[in-house]
Structure 1
Amino acid sequence: MRINHNISALNAWRSMDQVNQSMGKTLERLSSGLRINRAGDDAAGLAISEKMRGQIKGLETAVKNAQDSISLIQTAEGALTETHSILQRMRELSVQAASDTNTDVDRNQIQLELDQLREEIDRISRTTEFNTQKLLDGKIESFRGTEDIKVVTGGNIDLKVVGVGGAFSATLSSTNANGTYTGTYTITPDVEGTYVVEVGQLQGAETSALDVRITQIRADGTASGIATLGAGHVLLTTTLTDSYTLYSAAGVGTTDFAISTVVNLASFTWDSSTFNIDDFGGSLPLNEIVDSAVVRVEATNTAANQLVFQIGANEGHNIVLGIDDMSAGALGLNEKSLKATDQDSAERSIMIVDAAIHKVSTARASLGAAQNRLEHTISNLGVASENLTAAESRIRDADMAKEMMDFTKQQILLQASNAMLAQANTIPQNVLQLLR
């Protein structure tokens, strides 16, 4: 028997110490509710769960973004609802003015109300905003699809494309246009790029031709394959189906064109990712038009100044929304076109207001579709967040039932270790019996 080292007591003490350490960790898990409180508890699990936590937080924020986006859309759509009501009243007044049962004095009174309603549409377009951001003034518009603009003799066509980057194509067509159709449009490139002027399927008189005058094609005023008419001026005259590619440096290009007795105008295509079209149209006067004309602009643009809504946890998880200019001018409701002072003007006003109603209806439908999409997005984000949270919980959270079971076991082991340590400490006392 040895008395310098009590091996049995040391074993009992070591076991009791291990139980104490295990009990301390169990108490920590029970008090925090987490299985992983530090990296040492589960290094791999901690790394995986932290990545999941980032995704979960991103999904939760995306839900808030989508909800804010819906609020923005509802703000814009609410304003357009009032614009719709105003347009319906305008149509009602135009129909009333179209009847010769009204005197000139009556029609003048109707015209006064039309003017006030037009100004209110402009005010709504200027002042509708969300979080100080204007919504209906055309600064976040997307030029796309087909745009029908009603014009009359002596009237103007205002076409505008703001901040166009990337490939852009547009088609102008004139219906029921008799006489001569003339006008100008301006292309303002930001940086060096190229575009194509394409004339296709001109229908009408055999002598129909399209004259395109372009200024500042290059810094030196020249263009490949095109005759130069003085510094910075190029005149391109073509008929039917000819195509030319013009190389444009930074500067302003202005195109004048005239079509005589043509049913369908030409097709103009700009193909470049390096310049913007700041003003398409401006003022296009129609001269000697017997019938009212419909000018159609068909265009697609994928890089306009649009709203981007972040609706996901990662980069690129977004949707884009454009809201067209809803001012009176953009709707074709200018002072010259919206007249009710005589029967013919009132008839044309009905047509113009109908086109404006169609444009507002299209904008509201687009906003409604975007809102429905965002509502489904919110539901999907909620499901994704729920499932990812469940996965993260399985890795990181403590199973309270299991931890309580372990804690009870450790309490029993601790009591047993204490008892065995007390017994082991009595073993050296047996040596005293040998010394008596």
Structure 2
Amino acid sequence: MGLRINTNTDAFNSYRNLSVTQGQMSKSLEKLSSGYRINRAADDAAGLAISEGLRSQTGGLKVAVRNAQDGISVVQTAEGALTEVHSILQRMRDLAVQASSDTNNSDARTAITTESNQLQSELSRIANSTNFNGTKLLDGSANTLSFQVGAGSSAANDTISFNFDTADVSTVATALASGGGNSYAVATPTAVTGNWTFSTTGVVASSTVAMGAAGSFNTVQEVADKLNSDTGFSANFRATVDQSNKLVVNATNGGTLATTAPGTGGAAGAAVSGGIQLDTAANARTAIDSIDVQIKAVSTARANLGAVQNRFEHTINNLNVAVENLSASESRIRDTDMAQEMMSFTRSQILSQAGTAMLAQANSAPQNVLSLLRG
């Protein structure tokens, strides 16, 4: 070939190869330092799209695991309270069996009734106070709660729902309240105002509660809470809210609640069957049957809660397996194979050194022309 000075083709060729090698080495350094095979879409466009989809699914499943764990906590909170409800019902049954014997005089039965009434009041308190993150679980208001346990949006496949109606302790408390009661329709709680008067027959007692101005209440439960907070009312009566969102008032002193006209905002009361009575042996035997019904209902509720807790635990195990396998799939696509990339880096490093040396040789080649000029 001829000797040319203005255009050093060998140097251009060496420079081009060196530039390619330097680019490859730079990419290898980036992959080795970041740990990712795909750092930008240009590294692997299809792989990036696939790995982002897998990453979304994996992230959603990890959150779903936490949701399922929260679901277990909700169930355990409700079931823990029902454990104590069972203990209370068993004690009330013991009292009813004790009151069934005529070895007890009227004073003894009065003392038995007093303890039974206190236990029934505790059932009402448990129903109204048991909650998880502000959601009441045992007062009949929770109804069906849905727990997101999947990464998708399908209500059928990605959620677990549980109906807490079977765990309505307020219904249990109302069923066992001493004396008869009335159910009041409070369609518009914000309209409730004026004085509400409640009285009993048999065991004479009455109470008048000043409800305050209209707009003081937003829910029927707030109306019930207002009544129960009045000391005169709570001495002889108990207010609860049933599953149909009606206000139920029971006499807890052994008397029968008389129907009275409520203040503005509610319809007149309809009679509700009385709860347990322990004043005679016959009534106490009837109370045993009533308590047995409630014990069975609470047992069913606890069984349902235990079953859904087991389901949550299996769901968590399944989700963790899915997270593990999806993470492995994403890793194969997105993460750097350090051993393989180190081989590529070593190759690029050697080629870079060789290319630099050859570029130096190519740059010095035109100097041979000077020997012709000196000849």
Q: Same fold (TM over 0.5)?
A: yes
| Aligned 8 A contact 1:118 1:328 in 2 | no
**Cα contact 2:64–2:148 (8 A) shared by 1:** yes
CA distance in 2, matches of 1:331, 1:69: 28
- The 8 Å contact of residues 66 and 309 in structure 1, kept in 2 or not, is answered as yes
Aligned counterpart in structure 2 of residue 323 of structure 1, from 138, 150, 164 = 164
TM-score (norm 1): 0.61
Letter in 1 for 2:150: G
**Partner SS for 2:147:** strand
Deviation at 1:103, TM superposition (A): 1.3
Is residue 418 of structure 1 aligned with residue 356 of structure 2? yes
Distance in 1 (alpha carbons) for counterparts of 2:174 and 2:131:
19
Counterpart residue number, 1:337 = 275
Conserved? CA contact 2:82–2:298, under 8 Å? yes
What's the counterpart of residue 145 of structure 2? Answer: 307
**Within 5 A, what are the aligned runs for 1:144-183?**
none
Letter in 2 for 1:327: S
| Unmatched runs of 5 consecutive residues or more in structure 1 | 142-305
CA contact under 8 A between 1:65 and 1:309: conserved in structure 2? yes
Unaligned runs of 5+ residues in structure 2 are 179-273
Contact in 2 for aligned 1:34/1:398 (Cα 8 Å): yes
Select 1:122's aligned residue among 114, 121, 124.
124
1:430 alignment partner, one of 355, 358, 368 = 368
Which residue is 1:196 aligned to?
A: none
2:322 is equivalent to residue 384 of structure 1: yes
Q: Give secondary structure in 1 for the equivalent of 2:164.
A: coil
CA displacement at 1:2 relative to structure 2? 1.1
Deviation by residue 1:207-232 (Cα, 9 ceiling, x = unmatched): xxxxxxxxxxxxxxxxxxxxxxxxxx
What is aligned with 2:89? 87
61, 64, 71: which one aligns with 1:62: 64
Which residue of structure 2 lines up, in the alignment, with residue 364 of structure 1? 302
The letter of the residue matching 1:102 is N
Amino acid at match of 1:416: A
| Aligned-partner residue type, residue 361 of structure 1 | S
Displacement after TM superposition at 1:331 (Å)? 6.3
Q: Is the 8 A contact 2:22 2:352 kept in 1?
A: yes
Structural mapping, 1:190-209, within 5 Å? none
Distance in 2 separating the partners of 1:401 and 1:111: 80
1:75 aligns with 2:13: no
- In the aligned structure 2, how far is the partner of 1:332 from the partner of 1:323? 18
Deviations 1:166-197 (A, max 9, x none): xxxxxxxxxxxxxxxxxxxxxxxxxxxxxxxx
Greater strand share, structure number:
1
SS of the residue 2:362 aligns to? helix
Question: Moved runs in structure 1, 4+ residues, more than 4 A?
Answer: 328-331
CA RMSD between the two structures: 1.1
What code does the residue aligned with 1:380 have?
A: N
CA distance in 2 between partners of 1:74 and 1:61 (Å): 20
Query: Partner of 1:348 in structure 2?
Result: 286
**Structure 1 residues 328 and 110, CA gap change in structure 2 (3 angstroms):** farther
Shift of the alpha carbon at 1:328?
A: 4.9
What's the TM-score, normalizing by structure 2? 0.71
1:231-270 pair list within 5 angstroms: none
Q: Deviations over 1:30-51 (max 9, x none)?
A: 1110000011111111111111
C-alpha contact 2:18 2:355 (8 A) present in aligned 1: yes
C-alpha distance in 2 between matches for 1:405 and 1:371: 51
Question: Is this contact kept in 1: 2:117–2:177, CA < 8 A?
Answer: no
**How far did 1:330 drift?**
6.0
Rounded to whole Å, the distance in 1 between the matches of 2:139 and 2:67 is 23
Q: In the alignment, what sits opposite 2:38? A: 36
How far 1:414 sits from its partner (Å)? 0.5
| Paired residue type of 2:338 | M
Q: CA deviation at 1:410?
A: 0.7
- By how many angstroms is 1:140 displaced? 2.2
Are 2:120 and 2:173, in contact at CA under 8 Å, matched by a contact in 1? no
- In the alignment, residue 162 of structure 2 is paired with which amino acid? L
Query: How far did residue 334 of structure 1 move?
Result: 2.6
Equivalences, count = 272
- Cα contact 1:311–1:377 (8 A) shared by 2: yes
Contact 2:124/2:173 (<8 A) preserved? no
1:338-380: per-residue Cα shift (whole Å, max 9, x none)? 1111111010110011110001111111111111110111111
Which letter does structure 2 place at the counterpart of 1:354? D
CA contact (8 A) 2:172 2:294 kept: no
SS of the equivalent of 1:320 reads strand
Partner Cα separation in structure 1 for residue 171 and residue 287 of structure 2: 13
